[in-house]
Structure formats: C-alpha cells, structure tokens
Amino acid sequence: MPSRSSSPTEFSQFVSRAVVPPFLLERIAQHGSPSSGQGVAVDHASSSAARTLAIDRELVRGRIDAPRPTASAGRAATSGPRRSIHDAENDRVLPGRLIRAEGQPSSGDVSVDEAYEGLGTTFEFFRDVYGRNSLDDGGLPLDATVHYDRDYDNAFWDGERMVFGDGDGEVFGRFTASLSVIAHELAHGFTQYASGLEYSGQSGALNESLSDVFGVLVEQFALGQNADDASWLVGQGLFLPAVEGRALRSMIAPGTAYDDDVLGRDPQPADMDGYVETRSDNGGVHINSGIPNRAFASAAIELGGHAWDRAGQVWFDVATDSSLSPTIDFDGFAAATVAAAAARFGIESDVRRAVSFGWSTVGVAVDDQEPTDSTSRRV
C-alpha cells in the first residue's frame, strides 16, 4: 500500500495543541447542543463552540512554532514536581492569578485541585516509569491555568503551560475532570522537548498519537490497570449525559468514541484503508492519529500486563531518540518502534513480535528499512 503523507510546507506552521479537534467544534457550532428533553437551550452549546473556534484560530494566528527547545543545563535537579496553578477568572490573560503553588494545601476549587493532582501524577509517571525529570528531563516547572475564558470548550498546551476551559455545561464539562486530557496536553510538551515532531500530515498525527498514548498510560498508571482492563479512551467523562458518546477518542477502536445527532459519528479511521486525505486540521492530525493509536493499543494488549512496561517503553525509546526525523511518517515510525523493541528486548522477543503485530493490524507494513522522512515520500 503506498504511503499517504503530506509535506509540512503545504500546511500552516501556526498550530495549536488543543485536545478537542476543530471539526468537532464546527459540528456543534453548526447544529446546536444535544436536547436533554428538559428545556436545554440549544443555542448555548452552539455559541460556545463557535466562540471556542474563534479563540483557537486567534491563538493559532498569534504564534508560530519556535525552534525545538532544549533542557536547561543549569536548572536544578528535583525529586518532585514544581507546580503552579493559576485562575484566569474567565478572562484570557495568562497566566492569571496564582491560586496554588507546590506543596500548598487543597484550594477548594475543584478545577485548581484537579489540575494540581493531574500535573503531579503525570510528573510521577515519567519519573517513576522512565526516569525522566519532568517534560524536558531537566526539571521543567509545570504550570497550568484554569477557568480560561467563559464556557471555553477546550484545553491546550501553549508551549509553556497547560490551559483549561470549563466547558459549556451542555456538551462538555470542565476539562480538568479527565486525567487523560491533562496528561495528553502535557505530553505535547514532552514531544516538544524530546522529538519536536512537526504538527502536520503524518508526523502531526504521530504527534497527536504520542499524546494519546502517554495520556492513557498516565491514567492506567494512576488506576493500576493492565492493558486488558483499560478502556483505552481519551477524554472519558468530558461529555455530559445528553451526549451519545463515551469519550473524544477510542485508541483500541477508532471511530467508535461517539455517535450523536449533533456531534455526528467519530471520524477516526481504524486502519490505512480509511486514511483521510485533507488539508484541514493540519492535514488531519486529529483524525489519522487513530491509526497509530490502534497500533499501540493492539501491541500492548497482545503483550498483556501493564502497557507502560514494554509497549510504552518502546514508544518512549523512539520518542526520545535524537535521530528521529521531525517529519517522520507512519512507515518510518513503525520501523523505528520495531527496531527499538529488538534493541531493548531482543530480536526474537515477544515484544518485537507484538509491536509488528500492532502495525500489521492497521495495515502498516514493517520491514527492515531505516525510518523515512515524510518529506521524501510521494503523496
């Protein structure tokens, strides 16, 4: 099957690392909110989604990807996180008013305290499982802002901090309620420092997929779940009861996370046969990420046990490999994971076989070629 990649030069380099994709917000903006049968004002969710889209587009126009940062050699090593949680007070001025700093007791604001705990759990995961000292491996402080704007239907990593909206109260609840969302967005910071994957086409879908992978692994880690027991859902609990949906995405079954009269049906393809060619959403980064997501989940379930131990270790090894091309495509990333599995666990290991199985499940053939740069692939 020919590789389907797009050159990053075909897409805007102004990007936003937000968890809710624009196509979902567009659906809500066009159709209004789901009816609860109890007099819900159908305009509210629609106007909130439209406002969120406008803000997200303004954020995109307002910044361009900076060169890939490096960890600060002079930053003191720490044994624990250094967190600060601010309150935007329904404004858009960042970072907002400091509410809770590292070591301070619960604030009584559920969003503040959920953000504080979520940042801490994510820090502990990377430190305890992979020996990484924060997102940059140099003790980077973890900052977050809650109550961003009013009824804002998203959460994003802005290159320096996490930012959370409260949701519109009809489709979305508060975005701090999902640990997988908190970890997903922080993982964009991890990718920013570790590999700098360009946010367009297949490398962009891999960027999104890495955030989903580590987002669910942090949640599984916190719950002590095995791969077989996990839901493999990203953003479970974000949708309010009126919505016919379980989460934003399903890693093990892309395309099944929601099917709602207003939101439509989850558009993620489960394999390369359904790969979506599009120029929107930076080349379909939130849609086609379902393909590598399923490859990882399938490999982890095939291995059993804790997904972060073996499958997660392989993905971490690849994500932190300095030789990884920022424009790598699915074929190249698949080959890199198989090679990493062989290097760490052995060429005849169950891990290598499971990783190969995961990619074959989604129609990505793995061979012995070196990882490829997506700019050299034919569309």
pLDDT digits (tens, 9 = 90+) for 314-354: 999 999 999 999 999 999 999 999 999 999 999 999 999 99
Cα–chain-centroid distance for residue 297? 14
Residue 378 has pLDDT above 50, yes or no: no
The chain-wide mean pLDDT, for the chain, equals 88
Residue range of the domain that includes 225: 198-376
pLDDT, tens only, 249-291: 999 999 999 999 999 999 999 999 999 999 999 999 999 999 9
Average the pLDDT over 34-39 and give the result.
Answer: 42
Better pLDDT: 59 or 217: 217
Is 286 in the active site?
yes
Active site residue 306: no
In a domain, 57, yes or no: no
Report if residue 224 sits inside a domain. yes
pLDDT of residue 183: 98
Check whether 376 has a pLDDT greater than 50. no
Rounded CA-CA distance 274/258 in Å is: 18
Q: Is residue 235 part of a domain?
A: yes
User: If DSSP codes are grouped into helix, strand and coil, which group holds residue 83?
Assistant: strand
Question: Residue 228 half-sphere exposure, CB side, CA atoms within 13 Å?
Answer: 4
Q: What is the pTM of this model?
A: 0.89
**Residue 353 falls inside a structural domain:** yes
Residue 246 in any domain: the answer is yes
**Residue 133 · residue 139 · CB < 8 Å:** yes
> Among 185, 198, 208, 302, which one carries the catalytic annotation?
185
**Both tokens assigned to 228:** 């077989």
Answer whether residue 49 shows pLDDT above 60. yes
CB-CB contact of 22 with 53 (8 Å):
yes
Q: At what angle do helices 350-361 and 311-319 cross, to 10 degrees?
A: 80
Beta pairing, strands 142-146 & 233-234: unpaired
For the cut 60, the answer to whether the pLDDT of residue 67 exceeds it is: no
What average pLDDT does this structure show over 86-113? 98
Task: Considering the candidates 86, 286, 302, 306, report the single residue annotated as catalytic.
Answer: 286
User: Does the residue 175 lie in any domain?
Assistant: no
Tell me how far CA of residue 136 lies from CA of 54, 141, 142, 293, 354, in angstroms: 31, 10, 11, 23, 29
Instruction: Return the CATH number at 268.
Output: 1.10.390.10
**139 CB contacts (<8 Å, ≥6 apart)?**
75, 76, 77, 78, 82, 133
pLDDT reading at 65 higher than 90: no
Say whether pLDDT at 57 is over 50. Answer: yes
| DSSP letter (8 states) at residue 10 | G
Domains contained in the chain, number: 1
Decide if 370 is inside a domain: yes
Question: Is there a domain that residue 206 lies in?
Answer: yes
